[in-house]
Structure 1
């Protein structure tokens, strides 16, 4: 993938943000965002992700530590002196201006003459698939089109870093999927450095090169979508990145880097993750639960839901309750059915303590 000549890395060195005397919004984090990558800050409300984004933008000032964009220390610089652009959740389009005027606004404000601003704005609209929409008002556009205008307005400034704050939260499910694909395609085509904030796990998995999972003002884990999904560091990450069933088990044997676990007589071998024999916690994704084996863990189907492309089941047993999905919608299991449950060869993961 190419990297834009203007794309810059972002580095946090012990950055903290405190509001008032005792409200810690961000607690001394270290973070490296490489140039040309799309990195998502993901976490529940109040975890510090939006404050972190706003500190990159200069809309909030760090209480401690250093923020670098490229090799430049921007910790104390105002937003106007940082080469970043931000796409807000609300789009923040001027309703009385045409689409073209909205996209030109930042360029004109930055000192470009009208001719060059117009040329850049038209190119930006073409880039986001809105060629020919320049004369319309924002009210004449769909939500997805308005979001693209906001993206175009940010892109034409050719920032070192492009920031997105919950950009899809105002769109319906189908539009969210389309616009997130658009944003990802533009980012990859242009080689932009993008920092993206969302609380939507699926959205983060779909668009990111790396995901920074935040919890309680700090970083819980950083990794690629696959790393976080397949090897979560703890219960919080396992449950937050996609759905995970957390099941008590016993590690009965460890051979090298492989462990054998047991649940109600059923045994399964998987990576040990340096855990010793004894009680442990297993995280199993709903799609990795296999229903209908001749042997396995006894369970009862307590809920069966048809959602079009798959069946969703709640299974209850001595182990507690788990959520499972199956692609077979033609022969669904009935509520009350007694079944045996096992796990797919790959997918279940032991969770380190802590």
Structure 2
């Protein structure tokens, strides 16, 4: 029985720019990145930020205007898609409706020099890998959306590419199915040690599947780091608000000593990692789940008035009016006794506030 092997390779961009036609506005502007072999890295950002163009340049479906693209250390900048050892899973699945599931998975293998037996064995192994071993004789129309997506993954995996690319793979699935399929994709990637580049605009999806996340905005890289790095220590208000939600406060740094900043926020004085910031006006971000509501006038809190209290099942959501504007907070203590109009104190968890650097 044939097995699916990993030929995982690194991906590198060196000062890559992409400009379409006569446009003077780059779709991707002078970006450099390195993706280690065997990692799943997500390109995350709003529509038009350049993430899909970046993915298509890895695939060879778009050629860079300038700069270098390397796969496994080899320069592929000018190579067409047919000469790059990559496979892509599209948002639309792109299955042939008149072919069976098995024939869809075998399709690429037939043009890759494999014997008829090897083609059949690899297709069988690919379908078993994605949990569809008994579905080979069905047509795509006889499968659910999640099953069709898994067929598309199997078709890409059997080619044993150096890099596997996903373009918004879960956007056509409902929320519960998205969670299930993303877990399957992550498990397969880890078990086989694949290099995967994954494009999405869904922040939760990116946090759940990634070794690293590259956040893009306006054709450049806004921040690159692990999911925890980006969630706990965003570099800018854009990253803070795009990955999850964040309250942004204007504050003032009064002193910096040994990489610790003394920060004034209304009546509060906070000691925070300085992150190379100097004394003067600054901004800090606080996640809604790292805000604690207490009694009005409690020490180390900002005074506020509850504007709205919303019960959403698993948690309570609060909007608090303060001198710094509306503050959004979340509490998993769903039986907390708070009511709209109530005076409260807005406090921060020990590792809640973080200074923004950009």
The two structures have a TM-score, normalised by structure 2, of 0.95
Deviations 1:128-157 (A, max 9, x none): 111211111111111111111110100000
- Match of 2:26, SS state, is strand
The residue number in structure 1 matching 2:273 is: 271
Structure 2 equivalent of residue 326 of structure 1? 331
2-structure distance, mates of 1:110, 1:173: 36
Secondary structure at the aligned position of 2:27 is classed as: strand
| Partner of residue 282 from structure 1, selected from 276, 281, 284 | 284
Superposition deviation, residue 185 in structure 1 = 0.6
Aligned to 1:252: 254
Match of 2:50 in 1: 48
Secondary structure at the residue paired with 1:292?
Answer: strand
CA deviation map 1:213-246 (0-9, x unaligned)? 1111111111111111122122211111221110
Checking the alignment, whether the CA contact within 8 Å between 1:292 and 1:341 is kept in structure 2 is yes
Give the Cα–Cα distance (whole angstroms) in 1 for the partners of residues 96 and 341 of structure 2. 57
Q: What is the number of equivalent residue pairs in this alignment?
A: 350
What is the alpha-carbon distance in structure 1 between the residues aligned to residue 66 and residue 266 of structure 2?
A: 51
**Residue in 2 aligned with 1:13?**
14
* Equivalent residues of 1:289, 1:342 under 8 A apart: yes
Distance in 1 separating the partners of 2:100 and 2:115 = 18
1:109 deviation in Å?
Answer: 2.5
Equivalent residue for 1:303, pick from 303, 308, 333 = 308
* Structure 2, unpaired ranges of 5+: none
**SS class of match (1:242):** coil
Q: State the alpha-carbon separation in 1 of the partners of residues 341 and 138 from structure 2.
A: 57
Range with greater deviation from structure 2 (171-180 or 265-274): 265-274
Range 106-115 or range 12-21, more displaced? 106-115
For the residues of structure 2 that align with 1:135 and 1:213, how far apart are their CA atoms?
41
Offset of 1:274 from its aligned partner? Answer: 2.5
| 1:250 match: secondary structure | strand
* Mapped partners of 1:176, 1:287: distance in 2: 24
Quote the residue 1:165 is aligned against.
Answer: 167
Which residue is equivalent to 1:128?
130
In structure 2, what is the Cα distance between the partners aligned to 1:17 and 1:253? 43
What's the CA shift string for 1:262-305, capped at 9, x where partnerless?
22212222212232233211100011101115231111121222
Alignment check: 8 A CA contact 2:6 2:160 kept: no
Counterparts of 1:332 and 1:173, CA distance in 2: 31
Once the two structures are TM-superposed, the CA of residue 114 in structure 1 deviates from its matched residue by: 2.3
1:331 shift after superposition: 2.8
SS of structure 2 residue aligned to 1:24: coil
Tell me the residue number matched to 1:242: 244
Cα distance between partner residues in 1 of 2:262 and 2:74: 51
Q: Offset of 1:332 from its aligned partner?
A: 4.6
Gaps of 5+ in 1: none
- For the pair 1:344 / 2:349, whether they are aligned, the reply is yes
Is contact 1:311–1:332 with CA below 8 Å preserved after alignment? Answer: no
Please give the alpha-carbon distance, in whole angstroms, between the structure 1 residues aligned to 2:111 and 2:321.
Answer: 61
Calculate the aligned-residue CA RMSD, in Å: 1.3
Give, in whole Å, the separation in 1 of the partners of 2:336 and 2:228: 31
Contact (CA 8 Å) 2:210, 2:226: kept in 1 or not? yes
